[in-house]
Structure 1
Amino acid sequence: MISIIFALLSALFAAMTTILCKCGLKDADSDAATALRTTIVLVLSVVVVWVTGEWTQLPDATGMTLLFLILSGCATGASWLCYFKALKMADVNEVAPIDKSSVVLTMLMAFIFLGEQLTTVKIAAMVLIGAGTLMMSIRKGNGKRKAGRWMIFAWLSAIFAALTSILAKVGVSAVGSNLGTAIRTAVVLVMAWVVVAAKGKKNVFSGLGGKAFVFIALSAVATAASWLCFYYALKNGDASVVVPIDKLSILAVVLFSRIFLKEKLTAMSGAGLVLLTAGTVLTAIPI
């Protein structure tokens, strides 16, 4: 039960992250914004690790544990860079559903690699989530952007996100979830700054206005909260249950995007949202 509560909290903070980032990315470079956000997230993660005393577990971490956490961090970094690149190019309601489709792949990988049970109910949930995601990704009257690069980045983000969950599940099994989050975030930070430097974007922060900086900073705080809740839930529950519940953030994303960004859902997207939500709820049924 505690894992479900923290998964729901993770979903709420994740939705806040998406909306705040979309606002901050309006006039900012997505790679530079990712690097800035990750820096703040790492600082917050380290503070939590220090306060909880989990830093004392670091000497006990095995090489295998560190390897999986590092690999998870690499997958997270790739997912973030792709996701926010897509988010800068397209509407939240276009990008978010594709990113959330990673749950289907996560459930399959949890069954194959982690030995988690794949029941009839979970299979039905996967079908509903897949169908709902497909319906939400169909944007009539927006064909030009639909065929653009943003969709490639969105699908890459989903693939890397699925890998992140599986690798992290193995990595945090032997250390505290907060410590695992901090280690992964450090890896993401290195990746983000390497990308910024490799693309010659060292001076992009000079173009960041105060408003954009505030939104990006707030999104980092929301990200840290989401991560800490998610990996605590993942440590104490099944990946095939925790990950889908975390993806319920799509409901809050759609609501917030309507209120703050004035984005609208088509009839088909609305129907897809219902299916996606129904599938996600099914995953929490212990059958």
Structure 2
Amino acid sequence: MNNNDVPIKVLLIGANGQLGSELQATCPENVVLVATDRNTLDISQAAQISTALAECQPNVIINAAAYTAVDKAESDAQNADAINHLAVKNLAQAVAEWNKTQQQAIYLLHVSTDFVFDGQQSTPYAPTDTTNPQGVYGASKLAGEKAIQAYCPSAGTVRTSWLYSVYGNNFVKTMLRLMAERDALGVVVEQVGSPTWTRTLAETLWQFVEQKPQGVFHCSDNGVASWYDFAVAIQEEASALGLLNKTVAITPLRTEQYPTPARRPAYSVMDKRSTEQQLGYTLPHWRDSLRKMLIELKQQTITL
């Protein structure tokens, strides 16, 4: 982003999550960032959104808030829908109303998921491909997408996949902990997607803040992997950096050997060509991103 531009005021919703933390860490110099969490702005309450818009008067809103507990959502559908759908609908309606009545329009940027697809394809999903979520989480996120398209078509929606970072809980940090604690691990080999460093997504979103594209886009790191491949790479890269002092046997498991309440897409690789065209550069390969994240994690550990 060009730091000589006029300052952009950005209202960030969901500041405490992985993505919210990464967005704060990578915030460009010419952005005035107002970071909120559910305690300071609950978008399930329409009145709170109206108040926040009047007080903040942002140029851009980034919605990084979400119910992301995929398995828990199966037995907690009402809460998942409230956060991923109804709250997003409130937000889209509030922005649409604001844009009708105010001189300065707000650009809404919303984050969604690869779980809106059923995983039956064998080629990367384009933003225009048919959606068919297989569980409550994906269905609630798709409903949120549709609410944005219905009420605020000038918004941008960015689908992503398999996020991890130095912040919060995620697959990489869980694997590192289990590799330190155990002598062997079993990891599912039949689910294939694109591991994505949250830094890649955050930097893409900041570019979108400047460019304000409309419609649905896909953002993940390039390349493909199964969860098993990802785990093997985590061990290899972490061992090379001295983050692990031993190696463990990692066994590939079939999906039925590791049953979960939510059904996951067998294949959720996304086509990112429209995003790369918008950005003007190629997104990084997931293995390069993993290495950089682990280096950052090591530096944090040393600092602590």
Q: Normalized against structure 1, the TM-score is what? A: 0.30
State the structure with bigger RCO (CA 8 A, min sep 6), 1 or 2.
1
Q: Normalized against structure 2, the TM-score is what? A: 0.28
Higher helix share: 1
Higher strand share: 2
- Rg larger for: 2
